Structures are given as C-alpha cells and as structure tokens.
Structure 1
Amino acid sequence: MKMNSTRNMRANRLAPPASLLVLVVSAILVASPRTNAPEVSRHHQVISKLLDEFPYRLGSWVGVDVVLPSAATAILRPNGYVNRRYSQIGKSNDVVLGIIHCEDIRDMDGHYPPRCYPAAGWSQTGEDDIALRIEDSQATMKLYRFQRATQMGLVESKSVVSVFVAPDVGILTSMDSLKKIGDTSLNTSALGVAQIQLVFADELPTGIIQDQANDIFSEFPENTIANFMINPLRIVYPKEATLN
C-alpha cells in the first residue's frame, strides 16, 4: 500500500508539468498557423500582380482610376485592388468597378454594402438577388439600393452589385457566410478573400444593370475569378461553412 501511495504521489507531481506541456504545445500550434506558408505567400503575390495588371480597357468600356479612401485602405489592408470608373464608348453609361483582395478574411469585415453605405449616410432601400454570367458560369450576386439627401435637398441614388469570392468555396453573397469560413481556423482565414462591386450612380432597372454588368464581366481577363478561388493549401472547408 505504501508503494502504491508513493507511485500515486509521483504521478500527481508529474501531472501539472504534463498538462502544462499540452497547453504549451497547443499554444504553439495556435500561434504558429500556416499563415506564412510559402504556398500562401506565392498565391497572394499572384493575386496582387493580377490586380496590378488589370486592364483599363474592357471591350467598349474604358477605365479611369478612382482614389480609394485612406480610411478604407487602413481597415482593409488590401493585398491588391482595382478602383476604377469605366465609361462605355459612344454611350452615357458608366460604372465604378471595385475589386479588392485581402490576405486575411477577417480584414474584410465591415466592407460590406449594408454596413459601409449606411455608415456613410446612405439609407438602404432595397436588396435583391441578381443572376449574372461570369467566366462562362451563372452566378447569383446581391443587388443593393441606396439613397440619401444632398445638401440641395435632392435625392441621390446608388445601385450596388456585390459578391465575395473565396478559395474553394467560390461565390458568396453574405458576410455571415464569409465569417463562418474565417472562423473555421486561422489557416482558412489566412487564405484571403476577394470582393467585387459594381456601383451604378442611379437606381437603374435591374435588366439594364444585368446587361451592363454581364458586358463588363465578359471582358474580364481569363481566369480572374478562378484565381481568387484557388486554395494553395488545399484545405477542405466544412460543409456548413460553404452555405450562402
């Protein structure tokens, strides 16, 4: 009995260090995810180059750079972006195309039309799904409507087409879906995410927005969206994280 008691005492003395070792190892695993893996870094470099070289001419549309507010860049810390007003040659049509890529999904939090437009004084007046073609595939995106009163007492309107594109998952239309992926692990969050917005300076009919958006998307460089969907670590997301 005395021998067993001695063994138990030794085991109890060893238990705290063993538990501490587990905690230390766990902390190392959490603090050192594969966020700096060479595959991820190369992938982000490819995306950055793709956006740097994004064409100013998209078929009959010609683009001019629009300054991205410094507050937005401070929050988003973009890996690369396009923020450009495209005007259609021979017509009065114009649209602001925004493509932004963040290296970490969590940095995109807040850059979402139902949040950022009301924060800038706009009131949301509508939200609908809109079917568009992009890279030979049909995709459902979100169409948001906003209004605000000008200093002259007039009503100003905007129509915003918005969508997220994440590795493996593809097209996402809601921030909740994106956050599910980002919350899966630091590894999945560090794969990054792209957001595409088309901003029309009026409350145009949905049919006209579809025609103009499809025309612009049809002129995107080949595999632009496919590159946003590449998972360099080949992580498989849980099914519930892929739901819109």
Structure 2
Amino acid sequence: MDLHWRPSPLDEPFEGSIDLISRLAIPCSLITLIVIGALRANPQNAIEIDQYHERVALEINSIPIDFGDWVGQQVDLPNAATSLLHPNALVARQYFNEERGVFATLMIVQCRDARDMGGHYPPVCYPGNGWTQYPEKPARNETIENESIRVYSFHRVAGRVEREITIYNLFALPTGMLSTSMRDVRKLSANYEYRKYGAAQLQVMISGDIDQQDYAWIVEEMLKIARPAIDAVLDAQLEQSHGEGGTS
C-alpha cells in the first residue's frame, strides 16, 4: 500500500484561490489608500469650510480704512512677502491718529491652509529682510486688553540712518484660540481635519520714533479695528485641542 501523499484534485482550486486572494490584496490596499487620500484632500464638510473662509475674507476685507480719529491708507507689501502665504485675505494699512500725532501699521493675513503660515512670522521674516533683533530686548509677551501678545524689537542700519521698530504679533486659530506661539500653528497644521480651516496672523508695527508710553494704547486701538475679523477667524466652532499655548 502506497503511504505517500498525493495531491487531491480538490487541492488545486484551493491553492488557486489563495493565489487569487494574494493578487487582489495589493489592489484593494491601494484602493483603500486612494479613498483615504481623497477624503483628506476633499473633506466631507468642504462646503462648510469654503463658507467659513468666505466669511473670514469678508470681515478682513471690511476692516475700515478710517476708524474714529484714525485715518488709514493702504500699504503695498512685496510679492515675495506674500506669495508663499497663499492668502485667502490680506489687509495692510498704515493708520495715522490726527489727535495724538502718532501712526502705526496694521497687517492681518489669513490662509486657507494652516501649513502655509508655518515659518512666516517676525523672527523669520524680518531678519530675512535685513532687520536685526536687539540682544538686550529679547522677544517677550505683554498683556494688552487681557490678551497676551508677543513683542519683538528690531533695528536696521542703512548708511548713516538707523531705524527701530517694534512688532506686536498674534495668531488667531479656528479652534477659538489666540496664541503667541508658532508651535500652536504647527500643531494645527499637523491635524489634516483642522488645517483646512487655516489660520490668521495679526501684526502691529510701531516706529521707534513714537513715544513708548503710547505703544500699549496704539495696540489697543489696532485690536479694536481688527476685532470683527479676529472674531470671524475664531468662530469656526472647532473643538479646541488640549496642551496648546507657549511662546516662540
């Protein structure tokens, strides 16, 4: 009696089925990845996101050119300073207060994708354009109108002329949070669901010719001018993530 095993006719179809399943596994995996990628690129709430960006752009573009005793004029920014931001809305104005004889520049920019904001903030942009931070005046936080704002001091020498400026910087996030930290923007950028709501940055630039005792009041006034736009950015009604905050 032959005790050696011989394949049964039933074994061949079974082996063929395994081979077929193996061949199908890779295409199925690719389809799954494509579907996930499509969902990330085109979230189900795409219409809601577009409507949010339209509201934000409307508020930013509606920032008044004149406000109270302030008379404003448009400031043209270099294309190199804005091209990488891909702004959904951008306003840059110089405001002059006739009563006090002081002036300041207000800039607010909002991007549709939070990743576009990454790296575009005072410690990077101003040194890249010839400005130097004062070693004796390191970046610090100040509280103005109950808001913590990051403050940077720069100077630049051109020939015999030296200029000094102070930049007050703030990020507005769709999570409903105001932040002084680029780290919070990067955290938002890492969240594929939230980053499509973008982020906004506000800057107030004050010349060194202005009395420093007026700085806080000037920033308060600029915040009043920009408040409706800031509130529109914050009003995406997203759940605020934990562990945010800090400086940089």
- Residue identity over aligned pairs, in percent, reads 24
Counterpart-to-counterpart distance in 1, 2:125 and 2:173: 20
List gaps (5 residues or longer) in structure 2. 1-6
Q: Deviations over 1:58-81 (max 9, x none)?
A: 222111101021112311111111
Contact 2:176 2:238 in 1 (8 A): no
- Deviation of 1:116 after TM superposition, in Å, equals 0.3
Which of 147, 151, 160 in structure 1 is aligned with 2:159? Answer: 151
List gaps (5 residues or longer) in structure 1. none
Q: Deviations over 1:47-97 (max 9, x none)?
A: 111122210122221111010211123111111111000011122211000
- Deviation of 1:220 after TM superposition, in Å, equals 4.1
- Deviation of 1:235 after TM superposition, in Å, equals 4.5
Which of 84, 88, 107 in structure 1 is aligned with 2:97? Answer: 88
Q: Which residue of 1 aligns with 2:219?
A: 213
Q: Does 1:229 align with 2:227?
A: no
Q: 1:196 to 1:214 in 2, by over 3 A?
A: same
TM-score w.r.t. the length of structure 1 is: 0.85
Q: Residues 154-169 of structure 1 correspond to what in structure 2 (within 5 A)?
A: 154-169=161-176
Look at both structures and tell me which one has the larger radius of gyration over its CA atoms.
2
Q: 1:5 to 1:17 in 2, by over 3 A?
A: same
Q: Deviations over 1:152-199 (max 9, x none)?
A: 2x32111000011010141121212211110121x3111011110000
- RMSD between aligned alpha carbons? 2.4
Q: How many residues are aligned here?
A: 234
Q: 1:139 to 1:16 in 2, by over 3 A?
A: farther
Q: Residues 154-193 of structure 1 correspond to what in structure 2 (within 5 A)?
A: 154-185=161-192, 187-193=193-199
- Deviation of 1:237 after TM superposition, in Å, equals 5.2
Q: Does 1:202 align with 2:208?
A: yes
Which of 103, 106, 114 in structure 1 is aligned with 2:112? Answer: 103
Q: Does 1:129 align with 2:131?
A: no
Q: Deviations over 1:109-167 (max 9, x none)?
A: 2320000000001111221101112xxxx211100001111222x32111000011010
More moved, 190-199 vs 20-29: 20-29
